[in-house]
Amino acid sequence: MSLKKLRAYLDSNVFIFGKERQESNSRIILDLAEEGKIVPVISYLTLEELREYFSQKYDRETAVNEIYYLISLPNLEIVSRDKVKQKIGEYKGVVVDKDLPHLISAILAKADYFVTYNRHFIDSRVKEYVQVITQADFTKLLGIKTQQTSY
């Protein structure tokens, strides 16, 4: 499969680990996204979660900078709130309600992989709808030497 065509739904934890741990598989994935080698897919909820996380852990300026970084990624696709809302009922119960928009976004965007370290996804029925993979397994799949961590 060509790296250029690989569509990866990146969960919020990919961005958090990628910023906070430079020696991580998440950082490798973000580097691939920056280089335009994968198509990163996120949802409106990813933006909300990251804004909240970086505002609380750091400050408002860091949060703004991280959101700008994210939306500047080449080939980035953002699944909008209205598209997700239309499908909520179809997938209710597959994963905890607060994470449902992530699953629906990955499905709507026809993501090849759902990249996450979140056990809610890894241990759920999400894999019936999209291939769930950790950051380490994703980099390994691409033939890239992985970091020591799973994330």
User: Residue 123 — pLDDT band, cuts 50, 70, 90?
Assistant: confident
Quick check: is 30 in a domain?
yes
Quick check: is 111 in a domain?
yes
Give CA–CA dist 86/69, Å, rounded.
29
* DSSP H helical ranges for the chain: 12-20, 25-34, 44-57, 60-71, 81-85, 88-91, 100-108, 119-122, 135-141
Q: Which helix (H) or strand (E) holds 39?
A: strand 39-43
Quick check: is 35 in a domain?
yes
Quick check: is 150 in a domain?
no
Quick check: is 103 in a domain?
yes
Task: Please give the mean pLDDT across all residues of the chain.
Answer: 94
Quick check: is 104 in a domain?
yes
Quick check: is 54 in a domain?
yes
CATH of the domain at 128: 3.40.50.1010
Q: What is the pLDDT of residues 3-42, one digit of tens each?
A: 447 999 999 999 999 999 999 999 999 999 999 999 999 9
**pLDDT value for 121:** 85
Q: What is the pLDDT of residues 90-112, one digit of tens each?
A: 999 999 899 999 999 999 999 99
Q: What is the pLDDT of residues 37-84, one digit of tens each?
A: 999 999 999 999 999 999 999 999 999 999 999 999 999 999 999 999
Residue 17's domain spans which residues?
Answer: 3-141
Quick check: is 146 in a domain?
no
Give CA–CA dist 18/138, Å, rounded.
14
Instruction: Specify the number of domains making up the chain.
Output: 1
Give CA–CA dist 54/63, Å, rounded.
5
Cβ proximity of 38 and 25 under 8 Å: no
C-alpha torsion 129→7→117→104, nearest 10: -40
